[in-house]
Amino acid sequence: MAVTFPVVFPVAFPLATVLASTPLSTLELEAPLLLPLTALLPLTAILLVCQGNPYQTLVLRGILGAVAALIYALLGAADVALTEALVGTLLSTTLYAVALRSSMVLRLAVVPAAADAAVAGDPVAAADPAAGAGAAVRAGGALPESLEQILRGWLDPLHLRLELLPATASDLHGVLLPQADGGWTLRLGPPHLLQRLLPLPGAGRWRQAGCRLELAPAAAPADPLPSPLVGGAQP
């Protein structure tokens, strides 16, 4: 229950204060409603901390705050109920939603076959408009729809959204490069992204489609260990 404490404490402490200051007669009258609602608080908190999907966690956090606000209102603490509804539920849920929307995303540049060689070889160069002046393309226009669906399904277990951008975009996580045989190479900059993506089922589907997965040259170690998965080699 140590994990649940930071989630429950902002709700449980005001609730305990309100209960201590509420007349016993009021508690007896509202008991049929208070008991089931109060039981929902620890149950919702446990579900919240055990949830792996960040978007479902956001919904559960809103439910937790709404139940707490309803309990405060039933106990006659209208000011505490209003504060919980506006700050603890509405404001915090909105801020969490904005944070999730901006952070849970994988940004990839689609580089056409005629792109600048510097852009094709390095995501850092792709992030520099000066380096990729001749490589601007419509976002996602060169990537086949079937491969795009494989990529999106690949990221689903990590709850990541996919954004396909021109090669001149900034803040990229990697690039998609066309191969001579018609396939595509997904070249990632951060090594930890490669480590997270390799164990997922989408990695096998990506290779079965004739595509490759590798680290960008600048991000690769100086003496990399051979791996049948990195670089697109078939197992």
Q: DSSP letter string over 121-140?
A: H-HHHHT-TTTTTT----TT
Residue 133, pLDDT score: 33
Residue 231, phi-psi category: left (phi > 0), alpha (psi -120 to 50), beta (remainder): left
216-235 average pLDDT score? 46
99-111 average pLDDT score? 87
Give me the residue spans of the domains in the chain.
5-102, 105-215
175-194 average pLDDT score? 88
Are 160 and 100 in contact, with CB atoms under 8 Å apart? no
Residue 67's identity, in one-letter code, is: V
Are 109 and 140 in contact, with CB atoms under 8 Å apart? no
Phi first, then psi: what are they for 211, rounded to 5°?
-105, 170
Angle at 130 between CA 192 and CA 132, to 5 degrees: 60
pLDDT in tens, 1-52: 443 444 444 554 455 454 444 554 555 556 677 778 888 888 888 888 888 8
Residues 6+ apart with CB under 8 A from 131: 116, 118, 119, 125
Both structure tokens of 100: 């999730």
| Position 212 pLDDT exceeds 80 | yes
What is the distance between the terminal CA atoms of the chain, rounded to a whole angstrom? Answer: 43
